[in-house]
Structure 1
Amino acid sequence: MENIDIFGSVFEPALVKEIHQFGELLSFKEGDVIMDYGKYIRMMPMVIKGTLKVLRKEETGKEILLYYLSSNESCSMAYSCRLEAKKSEVKAIAEEDVELIAIPHAKLDEWLCKYPSWKNYIMRSFNLRFLELLKSIESIAFHKLDSRLIAYLKEKQRLSGSSVIRASHYLIADELATSRA
């Protein structure tokens, strides 16, 4: 599990040791569903390599992109659902091939009390996701579609490191919560 050494700059050495000991290294292919609506979340994912997109479905069945997760990031919704033993209200899909470390439920609370860096990591994650959601709401409410599209494409480029964006018009419209018509 040498790939998880990227967390050495974030966590205390003792916590990195426990992540090695109790975490499970998982790999997913592009398009794989990692968390799904209405399912219990069995672990909290910490992304090592690749990108996940996190979506939410409205009552009509239409999905909207909430945020992306990339290296060194984790899903706050997974953490919250896992602690409260609730079913997922989001879906996480591998945007590209992904490696992550699955943190078991039993360690989430323990580490929160035991390691200040874990508490900071979790709180920072909640704050980042909250700010991303505010940015999305602001974008939908106050920005025209052309500027939202440009911001979307720039974010896809930043995450992939490539100027080639592999996405259909339908997917882009869906993730921007608009229609192609």
Structure 2
Amino acid sequence: MTPLPAPLADLRQYCHQLELPAGQQLMSPGQACQGFIWVLSGQVAVSLLGRQGRDVELYRLNPGDSCVLTTSCLFGNSPFPATAATTRPCRLLLLPEAEFNRALEQSPSFRRLVFASLGERLAALMAQIESIAFDSIDSRLARALLAPGHDELAVTHEQLAQRIGSAREVVSRRLSHFSRQGWLSLSRGHIRLLNADALRRLL
């Protein structure tokens, strides 16, 4: 488990700890944000449902991350605009809204932590938007396949499509092409990378 930053550790007594299984929905569109979320362990995927009914993954929260959309909702007193769900068993800290606002007013170190986390996540989100807007499907797909850093991936075509902002049918066609090239092998819910260097050349 990633150690808590000192400003948040000082507020631990005011936090609620949540333990959630994989596949648990944490937030849904229109839901009121209850507080500041910090990931202790596990992973949370945040996605947006498009007008055509297709999910696009915005970002993933790993240990040591906070949720930029939740934080922005707390600042603006607005509802959550997306869906957040665990992809692995998770332990989260939730600092209630009242304590979050009090800490922002009284603790300069906590303010710095919040704005630093906000800046980092916004930069990553902008990079994701830039990739969806300007990178080719093959480039985005190769990046998603290489991102975990290992050769055995337990992932479906639908999940990959959400991560790169594409349609499942398109992803399936490109994966089949990669397989014919000998770059990977496919089985149900599983992908094995055979030639990572070839995929890197697509980036």
What TM-score results when the alignment is normalised by the length of structure 2? 0.76
| Counterpart residue number, 1:119 | 111
SS in 2 for 1:111: helix
Q: In structure 2, how many angstroms separate the alpha carbons of the residues matched to 1:163 and 1:31?
A: 23
1:1-181 alignment runs, 5 A limit: 6-7=3-4, 10-12=5-7, 16-19=9-12, 21-155=13-147, 157-158=148-149, 163-179=151-167, 180-181=169-170
Higher relative contact order (CA 8 A, sep 6+): 1
5+ residue gaps, structure 1: none
The percentage of counterpart residues that share the same residue type is 24
Q: 1:85 to 1:100 in 2, by over 3 A?
A: same
- Pick the structure with more helix per residue: 1
CA RMSD of aligned residues (A): 1.8
Deviations 1:16-59 (A, max 9, x none): 2322x110111111111111111112222110001111111222
For 2:30, give the aligned amino acid. G
Q: In structure 1, how many angstroms separate the alpha carbons of the residues matched to 2:134 and 2:51?
A: 23
Q: In structure 1, how many angstroms separate the alpha carbons of the residues matched to 2:105 and 2:113?
A: 13
Number of equivalent positions: 169
Q: 1:99 to 1:167 in 2, by over 3 A?
A: same
SS in 1 for 2:109: helix
Quote how far apart the aligned CAs of 1:113 are.
2.2
5+ residue gaps, structure 2: 171-203
